[in-house]
Chain A
């Protein structure tokens, strides 16, 4: 610092420091730009591969049908009300995500979530003001022909894989699991022949409450009751003379000859 108009030393040092610091910082930053960002000019394209590599949890219904494991169930489903229409309830709608099922768990979970089958069905089938009335059948549990919420579960009368009316599938109250077993269905419908077989096949829908062969359910025992008593009671239930039980809506659909067959069947059991 000789001339009086010269810049002081400290100012020169400061400027040099600023230049070095600034240069290092901005050039240093360039080293950290990811390759993918250089290409796109903004985001890191590398992330696409990462996002695309996420595991698939929901495998889709087709993958169940394409294997040899669930062919018959898949066939039942694809021909029934849940699978035949364009609006399908998929396998995983009720069973939960099964993308890892074939490799990881050997056992297929019964239903998604907490396992409450009635609530699962009501997820879609409960009648609500906001639900359009077209499409799937909707019920109010308290008014359903079989008002059995908390007592019975849906799958005892309806096959979840091919639901519909008049397709009783179960002969057991205690084990609803058999409901989804197609073999259980065949054993109940097979049996004796003639008038008695008609009574037997009709009676199978009674078993869910009155117990197999009319004995052992939570509802009154039917087996071995007098023919006349059974017949009169059913007629009175149908006409509404006897009131206040769940038999009213049930009996309202039974024809005369069916009453006869049922009374014959139950009175014939020893």
Chain B
């Protein structure tokens, strides 16, 4: 065999023997056997996940659960805060919203977001129906006309007054944000468990473990996620998924989220559903029949509920 000739095509093969063990499969019977083996193998592969799931599923005793809960509370929860004792919820009154974008500014400054209008935890949309036009027009902070009257470098966002002269049938503002779903898609798809739901209902991101694959951004039906271009705080990390945390660092200290605190119209309501006298419990009770969620057909069960929106909002 020529040592240098390591690139020969089959025609160059010099040695021929009677024995060709590799070509035993040429006969029809062999081929059928091979195909049935492939089918059998695929059945085995299909059985694997079932097997694996039964192996990984472990029953846990009640005492063990209590121990884990105690350790969780003592070691990992902020002092004085019991996430099991709260069930946070958020209400948005679109009747009251005046589109001042103060919540967006407050959110960005509170959570260390860049001024860029394409990176948001929350934003406001304007739905406008013009007389004689079957389509509803929607715009928000990324609309070039709105950017023109805004000042993103100074965290100031405004809506332009484009419908001042138009014959408007109806028009309203809708604040949008992460819905902190009870059955979040983002936590379902995160390959690593870097985004998760706390016992109090907030959906958070562990920026020390996020790999920045953005599968969660693809999965979120509400477009509430983004890739962080700047760190949230001096010791933070870039290029990880970011999202609304309901200002978890505030609510664990007994404060409201920055957006709720800043809203000059009290259009945003936040509170604990476990407390029957909290703002949100009273508000839910008052508006029980009007409460709506966004994209209910996704089966995500949002914790953010709206009043004053119509079917065009999604």
A residues in contact (CB < 8 Å) with B: 34, 36-37, 39-40, 42-58, 60, 86-90, 92-93, 96-97, 112-114, 119, 123-124, 126, 128-132, 135-136, 140
The 3 nearest A-B residue pairs measured at CB:
A43-B196, A47-B206, A45-B76
Cα distance A123–B96 when bound, in Å?
A: 15
- Residue of A52, A60, A132 near B78 (CB, 8 A) is A52
Name which residue of chain B comes closest to A130, CB basis: B171
Chain A residue contacts of B312, Cβ below 8 A: none
B216 interface hit (Cβ, 8 Å): no
Whether A128 and B99, one on each chain, are in contact in the complex, defined by CB atoms closer than 8 angstroms, is yes
Whether A90 and B255, one on each chain, are in contact in the complex, defined by CB atoms closer than 8 angstroms, is no
Whether A97 and B209, one on each chain, are in contact in the complex, defined by CB atoms closer than 8 angstroms, is no
Cα distance A47–B209 when bound, in Å?
A: 9
- Residue of A40, A53, A113 near B72 (CB, 8 A) is A40
Whether A129 and B158, one on each chain, are in contact in the complex, defined by CB atoms closer than 8 angstroms, is no
Cα distance A126–B149 when bound, in Å?
A: 13
Cα distance A128–B165 when bound, in Å?
A: 10
B220 interface hit (Cβ, 8 Å): no
Chain A residue contacts of B100, Cβ below 8 A: 123-124
Whether B264 and A39, one on each chain, are in contact in the complex, defined by CB atoms closer than 8 angstroms, is no
Encode contact with A along B101-119: 1 for CB under 8 Å, 0 otherwise.
1100110011100000000
Cα distance A44–B248 when bound, in Å?
A: 16
Whether A48 and B78, one on each chain, are in contact in the complex, defined by CB atoms closer than 8 angstroms, is yes
Cα distance A136–B51 when bound, in Å?
A: 64
Assuming A51-B249, A53-B249, A57-B110, is B95 touching A113 (CB within 8 A)? Answer: no
Whether B249 and A96, one on each chain, are in contact in the complex, defined by CB atoms closer than 8 angstroms, is no
Assuming A129-B128, A129-B168, is B78 touching A49 (CB within 8 A)? Answer: yes
A86 to chain B, nearest CB (A): 6
Chain A residue contacts of B248, Cβ below 8 A: 51-52, 54
Whether B258 and A57, one on each chain, are in contact in the complex, defined by CB atoms closer than 8 angstroms, is yes
Whether A58 and B95, one on each chain, are in contact in the complex, defined by CB atoms closer than 8 angstroms, is no
Chain A residue contacts of B158, Cβ below 8 A: 119, 123
A146 to chain B, nearest CB (A): 20
Whether B106 and A47, one on each chain, are in contact in the complex, defined by CB atoms closer than 8 angstroms, is no
B205 to chain A, nearest CB (A): 8
B148 to chain A, nearest CB (A): 13
Whether A130 and B156, one on each chain, are in contact in the complex, defined by CB atoms closer than 8 angstroms, is no
B194 interface hit (Cβ, 8 Å): yes
Assuming A39-B71, A58-B261, A130-B172, is B76 touching A46 (CB within 8 A)? Answer: yes
A143 to chain B, nearest CB (A): 11
Whether A56 and B264, one on each chain, are in contact in the complex, defined by CB atoms closer than 8 angstroms, is no
Whether B264 and A87, one on each chain, are in contact in the complex, defined by CB atoms closer than 8 angstroms, is yes
Whether B76 and A36, one on each chain, are in contact in the complex, defined by CB atoms closer than 8 angstroms, is yes
B198 interface hit (Cβ, 8 Å): yes
B residues in contact (CB < 8 Å) with A: 68, 71-72, 75-78, 81, 83, 95-96, 98-102, 105-106, 109-111, 126-128, 151, 154-156, 158-159, 161, 163-164, 166, 168, 171-173, 193-196, 198, 204, 206-209, 232-233, 245, 248-250, 252-253, 255, 258, 261-262, 264-266
Cα distance A56–B110 when bound, in Å?
A: 7
Q: Interface of chain A, helix or strand or loop or mixed?
A: loop
Whether B77 and A48, one on each chain, are in contact in the complex, defined by CB atoms closer than 8 angstroms, is yes
Cα distance A37–B255 when bound, in Å?
A: 28
A8 to chain B, nearest CB (A): 15
Assuming A129-B166, A130-B173, is B266 touching A51 (CB within 8 A)? Answer: no
Whether B193 and A37, one on each chain, are in contact in the complex, defined by CB atoms closer than 8 angstroms, is yes
Whether B206 and A44, one on each chain, are in contact in the complex, defined by CB atoms closer than 8 angstroms, is yes
- Residue of B81, B95, B207, B258 near A132 (CB, 8 A) is B95
Assuming A58-B258, A113-B155, A129-B128, is B208 touching A48 (CB within 8 A)? Answer: no
Chain A residue contacts of B258, Cβ below 8 A: 57-58, 97
A-B contact pairs, 6 of them (CB 8 A): A44-B193, A44-B206, A48-B76, A50-B208, A90-B264, A128-B98
- Residue of A42, A55, A135 near B96 (CB, 8 A) is A135
A60 to chain B, nearest CB (A): 6
Assuming A44-B209, A112-B105, is B163 touching A130 (CB within 8 A)? Answer: yes
Whether B72 and A39, one on each chain, are in contact in the complex, defined by CB atoms closer than 8 angstroms, is yes
B121 to chain A, nearest CB (A): 13
- Residue of B71, B207, B261, B264 near A60 (CB, 8 A) is B261
A206 to chain B, nearest CB (A): 31
Chain A residue contacts of B102, Cβ below 8 A: 93, 123-124
Chain B residue contacts of A97, Cβ below 8 A: 106, 109-110, 258
Assuming A43-B194, A45-B75, A93-B102, is B161 touching A128 (CB within 8 A)? Answer: yes
Whether A123 and B164, one on each chain, are in contact in the complex, defined by CB atoms closer than 8 angstroms, is no
